[in-house]
Chains A and B, each alone.
Chain A
Amino acid sequence: MTEFAQRIWSSTLARHVLLAAAGLVAVILVLESTSAFRNGQFAVMAYMGIAAGGLTVLTGLNGQLSLGHGAFMAIGAYTTALLLSDWDSAPPLLVVLLAATLVTLVIGAGVGVAAARLHGPYIAGATLALAIAVPGIALYFQGTLGGEQGLTVAVPAVPDWFADVAYFITGNDISSSKYVAYIGWISLIVTFVLLANLSRSRVGRTWRAVRDDDVAAELAGINLGRARVLAFVVSTACAGLAGAVLALAVRLAAPSGFTLVLSLALLSAVVLGGLGSLLGALVGAALLTFLPQVVTGIGLDAGLSDLQAAELAPLVYGLTTMLVVILAPAGIVGTARIAWRKRRAHT
Chain B
Amino acid sequence: MQQFLTTALNGLTQGMIFAAFALALVLIWRSTRIVNFAQAPMAMITVYVALVIIDAGYSYWLGFAAALLSGLLLGAVVERVAIRPVEDKPHINAVILTLGLFIVLHALAAVIFGSRYRSFPAPFGLSGFKVGDMNIALTGFGVFSILAVLAVMLLLVLLFRFTNVGLMMRASAFNQEVARLLGVRVTRMLTQGWALAAMVGSLSGLLIAGGNLVHPAYMDSVVVFGFVAAVLGGLDSPIGAVVGGLILGLSLSFVSGYIGSEVVALAALVILMVVLLLRPGGLFSHAPARRV
Contact = CB atoms under 8 A, between A and B. Distances in A.
A285 to B, nearest CB: 16
A200 B101 CA distance: 34
B102 A326 contact: no
Interface of A: 59, 63, 65, 67, 114, 117-118, 120-122, 124-126, 128-130, 132-134, 136-137, 139-140, 215, 259-261, 264-265, 267-268, 271, 304, 307-308, 311-315, 317-319, 321-322, 325-326, 329
Interface stretch (B45-53, B135-143, B218-226, B237-245): B218-226
Q: Taking each of B100, B111, B221, B273, which has the highest tally of chain A beta carbons within 10 Å of its own beta carbon?
A: B100
B246 to A, nearest CB: 19
Contact of A128 (B29, B227, B235, B266): B227
Q: Taking each of A121, A132, A139, A325, which has the highest tally of chain B beta carbons within 10 Å of its own beta carbon?
A: A121
A137 B223 CA distance: 19
Contacts of A267: 96, 99
Interface stretch (B1-9, B13-21, B82-90, B185-193): B82-90
A124 B104 contact: no
Contacts of A259: 217
A121 B265 contact: no
A137 B273 CA distance: 17
B103 to A, nearest CB: 3
Contacts of B235: 121
Contacts of B280: 117-118, 122
Given A137-B266, A140-B262, A315-B108, A264 B276 contact: no
Nearest to B271: A129
B206 interface: no
Contact of A319 (B104, B114, B269): B104
A65 B264 CA distance: 24
B228 A129 contact: yes
B292 interface: yes
Contacts of B273: 114, 126
Interface in B227-254: 227-228, 231, 235
Given A59-B92, A326-B85, A124 B100 contact: no
Contacts of A67: 99
15 contacts: A120-B91, A121-B95, A124-B35, A125-B272, A130-B269, A132-B269, A133-B263, A134-B266, A136-B265, A136-B266, A137-B266, A267-B99, A318-B102, A322-B101, A325-B86
B107 interface: yes
Contacts of B110: 307-308, 311
B37 interface: yes
Given A267-B96, A318-B104, A326-B85, A124 B265 contact: no
Interface residues of B, number: 51
A315 B292 CA distance: 40
B235 to A, nearest CB: 8
Contacts of B96: 65, 267, 271, 321, 325
4 closest pairs, A vs B, by CB? A318-B103, A315-B107, A321-B100, A318-B104
Nearest to B292: A215
A129 B268 CA distance: 7
Contacts of B99: 67, 264, 267-268, 321
B102 A122 contact: no
A341 to B, nearest CB: 22
B107 A314 contact: yes
B92 A65 contact: yes
A132 B221 contact: yes
A314 B221 contact: no
Contacts, number: 148
Contacts of A130: 269
B95 A65 contact: yes
A129 B35 contact: no
A140 B104 contact: no
Contacts of B264: 136
A308 B272 CA distance: 36
Contacts of A311: 106-107, 110-111, 115
Contacts of B283: none
B107 A122 contact: no
Given A133-B269, A314-B106, 8 more contacts: A117-B277, A122-B276, A129-B268, A136-B262, A140-B263, A304-B111, A307-B116, A315-B103
A218 to B, nearest CB: 11
A318 B107 contact: yes
Contacts of B95: 65, 120-121, 124
Interface in B100-138: 100-104, 106-108, 110-111, 114-116
Given A140-B260, A307-B114, A317 B103 contact: yes
B69 interface: no
Contacts of A319: 100, 104
A128 B263 contact: no
B224 A318 contact: no
B163 interface: no
Contacts of B221: 132
Nearest to B274: A114
A126 B280 CA distance: 12
Given A117-B276, A124-B35, A124-B37, A322 B228 contact: no
B262 A129 contact: no
B106 A261 contact: yes
A325 B106 contact: no
Given A140-B260, A307-B110, A118 B276 contact: yes
